[in-house]
Structure 1
C-alpha cells in the first residue's frame, strides 16, 4: 500500500517527498528544531487516530460475533474473564471451583485420613487395655497380629491404585499397632517378657520399631514411616540410660550419640555422590520429599545434639572435682567430634550451619579444658580457666581467617559461592571462642567495675561528708587476667585485620577492633599497679601521664590512627578524672592539667589544614571539655577554700565569662568557628549552673543575674550574636525583680515597667530595620506587659492614684495609636481606657440601680433593643466603616 505524502501542518497542502524548506502555499517554515518537534507531534497524533479506528472496527466485529451467539448456551471459565475489568469480580466470575467450597479435595482427604487413623489406633488401644480380657493368649495374639498385618499389608495394593495418602495412613496405623503388640505381649507375659525391666524392654522395642519403620518405609517407598522411624529413634538411647541408672552426663552422651547416628545415616544416603541422592529421590517420590527428609533429619539431629550439649556443658560447669569433671568430658568430646565432622564432611550444607557446627565443637572444647583447669587452679580462678582456652582458640581462628591475605567475604561467583573447606570452620571457631571470651568478661565485669569506681565512692564521702573512712584500693588477680586476655585477643585481631585489609585506615572492622582494643587495654594496664599494691598517688599519676602522653603523640602526629589514639587518651583520662575525686588536691591538679591539655588539643585539631571529620569532632569535644574542666576546677577550689555555695557560684560565673571571651576570639580564626561554638555553649551551661547555686540566697541571685545580663549584652556586641541582647535584658530585668522582692515591693508596675520599656525599645528597632513588621509584633507584648497587670490591680485597689495614672497612660497610648495609625496601641490603649472608665463608674451605676424601681432596667433594656432595631442598617454600616478603619492600621 502506497503511503500518502505528508501535508503542511498549517494549510494541509501536500508537500511531496522530500518536503521543501517551506510550504509553497502558506510559506510556513518546515526546518529547524520547532519544525522537527511539530513533525513528531503530528506523527504521534496520526498513530493515535489509526489505533482508534482499528479499535472501533474490532469492537464492532466482536459485538457482532456475540450477537450471533445470543441464544447459544454459554460456559464461563476462569480464564475467559479478563482480570481487572470492573463489574466482573463482584459477580463472582473467574473463581476456580464451584461457589461456596472453602475446603479443597486434598485437604478434606487429609483430614479424613488423620481422623480415621487416630480413631482406629484409639480403638485398638482401648481393645488392648480394656476389652480383651475374655480372650485367651491365642485369641489375643491372633487379633492383634491380624490387625497389624492387615494395616502393614494394605499400602502396596493401595499404591498400585494410586491411593498414596491412604497408604501412608495405613502404614502409620500399622506401626502404631506394632507398639501396641509389644505392650500387649509384655502385659500378657508372652515368653517371659514381663520379667524384663520396663526401660530395657522399651529400649529394645523402640530400636526394633525405629529400624523396622525406616526399612519398611524405604521398601514400600513411603514417607511417613521414615518420619516415624526417625522420631522413634530418639527414645532408645534415653531408655537405655534410664535402665542403667545413668546420670546427667550419660543422658547427654545418649542424646549426642543419637544425633551422631542420624548424621551418619544421612551422610550414607545423600553424600556418596549422585547415586545415593538419586536413590533417595526415587524412593521418596521426588526432589521435594527428599529435601524435606534431609532438612528434617538435620533439624531433629541438630536439636538433639544441642540439648545434649547444653546438659553436658551445665554438668561440666557445675562440677567441682575430678570425679565429676572426667565423666562430663565424654559427652563434650562426642559433641566436639560430631561438630567437626558435621562441618568438614557435609560441605554441601549452608555456610551458616557448618559454622554453627564448628562453633558447638569449640564450645565443648573450651568447657572441657576450662573445667579441668578449674580443678587445678586456686579458688577464684575458675573464670580465667575458661577464658584462657577461649583466647587461644580465638587468636588461632583469627589467624586462619586472615591467612592468605584476606578474611571471609561471602561474595557470589557465577551465581553460587562455595566457601573453601577451612573457611566455615575458622569462622565458627572465631565466633564461638569470641562469644565464650565475652561471657567470661561479663562474669568478671562486677569485680572490674568495683575496682575502677572505688576511689570515686571514697570521693563522695570526702567531698560531701568531710570525714572519710580509711579505704583499701585493690583488685583480684583473676578478673584482671581475664581482662588482659580480652585485650590481647582484640589486639591480635586488630593487627591481623589491618594486615589483611586492602585499606586498613579506611576499613571499618579494623578501626572498630583498634578502638575496642584501646578501651580494654587502658583499664587492664592501669589496674595492674593496683593489683601489685602500688600506692594510690602513683596509680593516679600513671593514668594522668598516660593520657597526656597520648595527647602529646596526637599533637605531634595528628593524622595516623587518630581515632584509636583518641579513644585511648579519653579512656585513660576518664579513669584519671574519676580516680582523682579520692583526694582534693588531686582534683585540683588533675582537672586543671586536663583542662590545659584539652585546650591545646582543640587548638591543634581545629587547625584549618585538619579537614578530617574525626579531627573536627574531637576538637569540638576537647574545647567543650576544657571549659567544663575549668568549671569543675572552680567548684573544687571554692569547696576547698570553704566558700559557701553562692560564693563559689561567682567563681564558676567567671569561668563562663572567660569562655565567652575565648569563643569570641576563636570565631575570628577561619575554620575554628565550630570549636568556638562548643566552647561558648559550655560556658552558657556553666553560667546556668552558677545561677542555680545562688538560688537559696536572693542577694547573690540578684547579683549573679545582673552580672550574667551585662555579660549577655557584651556578647550581643558581636555581629552574629545580636539576639543575645534579649537574653541579657531578660537577665537584668530578672535581677531587678529579685531586688524588688527583697525590698518588699508588691506593686506590679515596678516589675512590669522594665519589661515594657525593653520590649518597646526592641520592637521599635525591629520596625525601624524591617518596616513591614506589624504593630502587634512590635508593640503588643510590651504594652500588654504593664497595662493588663495594672488593670487587674486597679479593680482591687481602693486608691484613686493607680486608676488615674493608668487611665492617663491608656489615653496617651490610644492617641499615639490614632496619630500613627497603629492598630496595637489603639486597641490595647482603648480597651484599657474603657475598662478603667467602667471601674470608675461602677459604684455610681450600682447606686443608681439600687434607687430605681426594678422595672426601670428592664424597660430601658427593651427600649434600647427597639432603638437598635430601628437603626440597624445605619449602625451596621458605621460598624463596617469603623472595622475598615481599624483594620487599615498596622
Structure 2
C-alpha cells in the first residue's frame, strides 16, 4: 500500500511538471508566431539565436533603474550627512551655508528639467534628496548657531521645522507634479503636534489632545484626497502618480489617522477614569470632546469612507462620550456608584441606537428575504449600538464579582452545615450599585427585544429577538431575587421569595404553555437553580424547597406531556419529570441526614426513590404519548440508584444490602416486556451482593457457597432454554457460571496455593470446550476469560523473575519489534479478528 501510494505521488508530480512544461512551450510558440518578421523571439529555457553564451536577464530595466536611483540617493544623503557632521568645522559660516544651500537648491531644481526629458524616476530621486537636504540644512543651522537658533529648545525648534517642511514639501510636490514629496509632507506633518506639546511641557491630556488633533488633520487631508480622487479631474490622480499611488496615500492616511485617534483616545480614557480630582477630569474632557467631534464628523459627514470604518468612528465617539459623562458623574454620585455612572449613559445610548435602527429601517424584514443595503444612517446606529454594548458589558464585568459572591453566599455555610452538622453564623449583604447595573442590563435587553420584535413584525420573532428575550429573562431573575438581599431582608424571606417566583413561573407555564415558552423556561431554570442553591444553608429549607419543586415539576411534566403538546413542550415535560425524581432523591437524602442517620444509611432512602421512579416509569409507559417522559423518569432513577450505591461503598455491609435491593429491583423491572435485559443487571447485582457478603464473613473457600447456587442456576437456565429455544446463552447460563468462577478467580489471586488455580483452570477449560462444541457465547466467553486470567496469574511470577534477569533494553526492543510486526500484518490481523467476532456473534 505504501509503495503504491508513493508511485501515485510520483506520477502526480511528474504530470504537474509536464503540464507546466507544455504551458511554457505553448506560450513560447505564441510569442514566436506573433513576433515581427526578421526578429528572433526568445524562448524560455533556450538561448536566442545569434546570442550564444548570453545569459537570461533576471531583472527588468525599470527595476534596475529604480535600484540604482534608490542606492544613489541614499549615498548622496549619507555623504551630505557626513559632510555636515564631520567636515563642517573646517569651513567658515559663509562656506557652509553656500555649499548646503547650493546642493539643496540644485536637488530641488533638477526635477523640472528632468521631467521635461521624460526622466520621471530620476526627478523623483532628486526631489527626495533635496527634501532630505532641507532637514540637514535645518540641523546644520542650529548646530552652527545661525541667528541664535542654538538658544531655542530642540523640541520647539523641530516643531517649527517639521511644520514648515511639511507645508513646503506638499506645495513643492503639487507644483512639480511629483509623487514622493506628498507622502513626505504627510509623514512630516505627524510630528509638529507632539513636538510642540513636548516643548510646552504638556501633560498626558495635552499629549492626547495633540494626537487627536493630528488624527483630525490626517482625516481632513484624507477627505480632500478621497473627494478629488473620486469626483475630481483626472489630472489630480496624475499629480499623485496614478490611481495606485492615490489609493495607497488614502489608505496610509486612514491607518495613521486611525492609529493616532485610538492612541490619543486610550490615553484620554485612562486619565479620565483614573483621575483623582475634578480638575483632572475637566482637563481630560478636552481630548475626549475632540474625539467625539472627530468620530461624529467622520461617520456622518464622510460618506466616502467604507461602512465598517464609519461604524468604528461612531463607536469611538460614543465610547469617548460615555467615558466623559461617567468620569464627571463619579464626583456627583454617592460612594460606590462609580460604575453606575458609566453604565447609565451606555444603557441610554444603546436604547437610542436601537430606536434609530428601527426608524431607519435597518432592522426591518427585507422584501423577498434578501439582505438590506446599508443605509447612511445605519452606520451611525450600528456604531453606537456596538460601542454602547461593549461599555455596558465592561461595567457588568466590573460588578460581576460582587454579584457572583452574593449569588453564591449561602453555599459555603451550607457545605459546613451538611458536613459538620452545626449551622455556622453568616451574613448576607449586597451593595445597591451592582444590583442597579444588573437591572440596567436586564432592562436594556428587554427593550432591545421589544424593538426588534416590532421591527421584524409578522408575529414571528427571528433569532436575534429570541436571543434577546432569553438573555433578558436570565438577567432579570437574579436582579429580581437579589433585591431582598440588597434591602436587608432576613434569609428566610429571601429564600421564600425565590421559591414563590419559581412556583409562579411554573404555574404560568402550565396555564399558558404555548406563549413564549423558552424565555419563561429560562426564567424558571434560573430561579429554581438559585432557590435550590440558597436553600443549602438550612436543613428545613432544603426539605421544603425540594419537596415543593418536586411536586411542581411532576405536575408540569404531567400537563406538558399531553398528546397534543408541541415538541418543545414534550422536551420540557421530559426535563421536568427527570428533575422531579432527582429533587425527590435529594429530599430523601436530606431527610435521612436531618433525622440523624449516617450517610450510608440515608442512601437507602435515595434507593427507595429510585425504585419508586422505576414503578412510576412503568405506569407512565402504559399511557399513550407519555413514553418519552417515562424514559426520562426511569433514567433519573438509574442516576439515583448509582448515587446510592456510591454512598454505601465505604461500608461493605450496607453495600451488600444495597446491591441486593438493586438486584431485586432489576429482576422486577425485567417483568416489563421491553426491559427483559434488566434481568442480567439484576442477576449481576445479586451476585455482587453475595460476593460482598462472603468477603465480610471472611470466607476463604467461596466455592462451598457458590457451587450450589451455580448448579441450581444452570439447571434452571437449561430448563428455560429447553422450553424456549430462543432464549440466549447469557440469560440461561451467564449468571450461573459467573456465580462460581468469578469469586474463585478473585480468591485464586489472593491464594498462594496451587490447588485452586489448577481446579479453576481445569473447570474453565472444560467450560470453554463446551461452549465451542455447543456454539454458545456465555460458556465460551466466561470460560476463556477466566482461563486466560488464571494463566496470567500463574505466569506472572516467572515473568517478573525473567525480567529481573535480562537487561532493561531487552523488553523495550521486544516491544518495538512487536509493534513493527503488528504494523506489518495489520490488515491480516483485522480480518482474523473480524472473523473471530462474527463467529462469536453467530453463537447462541
Q: Is the 8 A contact 1:602 1:618 kept in 2?
A: yes
Report the more deviating stretch, 334-343 or 543-552. Answer: 543-552
Q: 1:651 and 2:605 equivalent?
A: yes
Alignment of 1:277-292 (within 5 A): 278-292=234-248
Larger radius of gyration, structure 1 or 2?
1
Whether 1:307 and 2:258 are equivalent positions in the alignment is: no
2:431 corresponding residue in structure 1: 476
1:267 to 223, 238, 261: 223
The number of aligned residues is 754
**For 1:805 and 1:491, how far apart are their aligned partners in 2?**
73
Does structure 2 retain, via aligned residues, the 8 Å contact 1:317–1:371?
Answer: yes
Q: Is 1:621 aligned with 2:575?
A: yes
* Structure 2 counterpart of 1:332, from 281, 288, 294: 288
Partner of 1:529: 484
Contact 1:155 / 1:170 at 8 angstroms: preserved in 2? yes
- Secondary structure of the corresponding residue to residue 330 of structure 2: helix
Name the residue aligned to 1:709: 663
- Deviation (angstroms), 1:79: 4.4
Deviations 1:288-315 (A, max 9, x none): 2222221211111111111111111111
Tell me, in whole angstroms, the C-alpha distance in 2 between the residues paired with 1:354 and 1:129.
48
Kept after mapping to 1: 8 A contact 2:733/2:779: no
Alignment of 1:61-140 (within 5 A): 77=28, 79=30, 106-140=62-96
Partners of 2:259 and 2:749 in 1: CA distance: 85
**1:798-817 mapped onto 2 (5 Å cutoff):** none
Query: Contact 2:663/2:685 (CA < 8 Å) preserved in 1?
Result: yes
Residues 760 and 782, structure 1, Cα contact 8 Å, conserved in 2: no
Q: Which residue of 1 aligns with 2:168?
A: 212
Cα 1:686–1:129, aligned 2, differ >3 Å: closer, same or farther? same
Match of 1:561 among 494, 513, 516: 516
Distance 1:795 1:467 in 2: 44
2:301 counterpart of 1:345: yes
Q: Counterparts of 1:139-178 in structure 2 under 5 Å?
A: 139-178=95-134
Do 1:280 and 1:290's aligned partners in 2 also have CA atoms closer than 8 Å? no
- Gapped regions of structure 1 (runs ≥ 5): 1-73, 83-90, 837-885
Confirm whether residue 373 of structure 1 aligns to residue 324 of structure 2.
no
Q: State whether residues 362 and 378 of structure 2, in contact with CA within 8 Å, keep that contact through their aligned partners in structure 1.
A: no
Of the candidates 741, 744, 758, which is equivalent to residue 698 of structure 2? Answer: 744
Specify the alignment match of 1:594 in structure 2. 549
Contact 2:768 2:781 in 1 (8 A): no
What is the DSSP-based 3-state SS (H/G/I as helix, E as strand, rest coil) of the residue aligned with 2:28? Answer: coil
Paired position in structure 2 for 1:385: 341
Alpha-carbon contact 1:766-1:778 (below 8 Å) kept = no
C-alpha contact 1:756 1:783 (8 A) present in aligned 2: no
Contact 2:229 2:237 in 1 (8 A): no
Question: Which residue in the other structure is 1:422 paired with?
Answer: 377
Task: With the length of structure 2 as denominator, give the TM-score of the two structures.
Answer: 0.81
* 1:489 and 2:444 correspond: yes
Structure 1-normalised TM-score? 0.77
User: Structure 1 residue 256: deviation in Å?
Assistant: 0.6
Q: Determine whether 1:519 maps to 2:461.
A: no
Q: Once the two structures are superposed, what CA deviation does each residue of 1:415-474 show, in whole Å capped at 9, x if it has no partner?
A: 9x7633321111111111111111101101111111111122222222222334322211
Q: Please state whether the residue corresponding to 2:331 is helix, strand or coil.
A: helix
Q: Mind listing any 5+ residue stretches in structure 2 that lack a counterpart? A: 1-24, 34-42, 49-53, 791-838
Q: Provide closer, same or farther for how the CA distance between residues 542 and 159 of structure 1 changes in structure 2, counting only shifts above 3 A.
A: same
- When residues 403 and 751 of structure 1 are mapped into structure 2, their CA distance, relative to the original with a 3 A threshold, is farther
Task: Give, in whole Å, the separation in 1 of the partners of 2:107 and 2:559.
Answer: 89
1:656-735 matches, cutoff 5 A:
656-735=610-689
1:211-230 per-residue CA deviation (whole Å, 9 max, x = no partner) reads 12222222222223222111
Q: CA deviation at 1:582?
A: 1.8
User: Contact 1:606 / 1:616 at 8 angstroms: preserved in 2?
Assistant: yes
Question: Are 1:763 and 1:779, in contact at CA under 8 Å, matched by a contact in 2?
Answer: no
Residue 540 of structure 2: aligned partner: 585
CA contact (8 A) 1:210 1:233 kept: yes
8 Å CA contact 1:406–1:501 kept in 2: the answer is no
Match of 2:207 in 1: 251
What is the distance in 2 between the residues matched to 1:650 and 1:569?
A: 30
CA distance in 2, matches of 1:405, 1:190: 66
- Looking at structure 2, the residues matched to 709 and 811 of structure 1 have their Cα atoms a distance apart, in angstroms, of 29
Aligned residues of 2:734 and 2:779 also touching (Cα < 8 A): yes
Q: Counterpart in 2 of 1:359?
A: 315
Residues 182, 595 of structure 1: CA spacing in aligned structure 2 closer, same or farther, 3 A cutoff?
A: same
CA distance in 1, matches of 2:780, 2:405: 70
How much does 1:502 deviate?
Answer: 2.6
What is the match of residue 796 of structure 2?
Answer: none
Contact 1:756/1:786, CA 8 A, preserved across alignment = no
Q: 1:541 aligns with which of 469, 479, 496?
A: 496
Shift of 1:169: 3.1
Contact kept in structure 2, 1:407 and 1:500, CA below 8 Å: yes
Shift of 1:338: 0.4
Offset of 1:267 from its aligned partner? 2.1
Shift of 1:761: 7.7
Q: Deviations over 1:191-244 (max 9, x none)?
A: 221111111110000011111222222222222322211111111000111111
* CA spacing shift, 1:229–1:680, aligned 2, 3 Å: same
Query: Separation in 2 of the partners of 1:266 and 1:681?
Result: 67
Q: Which residue of the partner structure matches residue 317 of structure 1?
A: 273
Question: Comparing 108-117 with 687-696, which one deviates more in the overlay?
Answer: 108-117
413, 432, 445: which is aligned to 2:400? 445
Find the counterpart in structure 2 of residue 850 from structure 1: none
- Matches of 1:467 and 1:529, distance apart in 2: 26
How far apart, in 2, do the equivalents of 1:285 and 1:410 lie?
A: 43
Task: Verify the 8 A CA contact 1:80 1:94 in the aligned structure 2.
Answer: no
* 1:659 Cα offset (Å): 1.1
* Superposition RMSD in Å: 4.0
Q: How far, CA to CA, are the matches of 2:126 and 2:586 in structure 1?
A: 84
